[in-house]
Amino acid sequence: MLLTDDQKMLQEQVNRQLLEMEHQTKMMEAVLESQELERKRVAADLHDSIGGMLSAIRMGLTTMSRQLPDPQAIEPQKKMLDDTIGSVRAISRELMPSTLERFGLTHALRELCDQVHTTSLLPVTFHEQGELGELTTNKQLMIFRIAQELVTNAVKHARATEIKVHLRSADQLVLVVEDDGVGFDAGSSFTATHSGRGLGLFNIENRVRLLGGALDHTMPGSHGTRITLTLAK
């Protein structure tokens, strides 16, 4: 079957668009992979280098306190150092959660909610339903990063008093992050009104595209926000 000139031009245009989409996908993958490698490097430096030095200083203070007339005199400094060590460890876990690599997505999401609750004092609950099944490590990491960014955004911007994270697995994998905060203007773009954080949401959208999923954001009532990620299994 011979193609007309118009059909050939249309086919060439479609091919160019496909090539452009493939190029954009590869670029997104490269950018996100670079970010993860940098996160891993910084997390290792914090844990192994800075964390190790702080722990050594802590041991030195403990030894020094035994030689002082009043060992309690440096307790405030020891407490401050303990808090710093705890903060460094928390930042390291946030950058590269070892729980995800060791125990999988469900455990990592539960740990994320517990950590955010501890640091923000907001009730952050995690609910799971169904068997997750086999997911590649890269896929689990992208889903975790999406949840991490959404929860962080809710803490920083939503003025919420409660955050809930749901992970449901049946015919599809569904991740829901909802809060009871100020919500967003349904007549405006979600990016402009609810986020105001540019790169974070940009990375979420890129990860959703790479996962081949869909992201939906709604207001379940007069206030609050519910964001749903849906993926084919």
The model's pLDDT over 139-162, given as tens digits with 9 standing for 90+, comes to 999 999 999 999 998 998 888 999
User: CA-CA distance, 179 to 221, in Å (whole number)?
Assistant: 11
Is residue 43 over pLDDT 90?
A: no
DSSP secondary structure string for all residues of 79-141: HHHHHHHHHHHHHHHHHS-HHHHHH-HHHHHHHHHHHHHHHH-S-EEEEEES------HHHHH
This prediction's pTM: 0.72
Higher local confidence (pLDDT), 229 or 118: 229
Mean pLDDT lowest for which of 94-103, 116-125, 191-200? Answer: 191-200
Domain ranges of the chain: 1-96, 98-233
137: left (phi over 0), alpha (psi -120 to 50) or beta: alpha
pLDDT computed for residue 1 by the predictor: 54
Q: For residue 96, what are its two tokens?
A: 């590269």
User: CA-CA distance, 19 to 75, in Å (whole number)?
Assistant: 63
User: CA-CA distance, 140 to 134, in Å (whole number)?
Assistant: 10
Q: What is the mean pLDDT of residues 89-115?
A: 89
Q: Decide yes or no: CATH 3.30.565.10 for domain 98-233.
A: yes
Q: What is the mean pLDDT of residues 178-188?
A: 71
pLDDT computed for residue 199 by the predictor: 56
Is residue 230 over pLDDT 90?
A: yes
CB-based contact 170:105 (threshold 8 Å): no
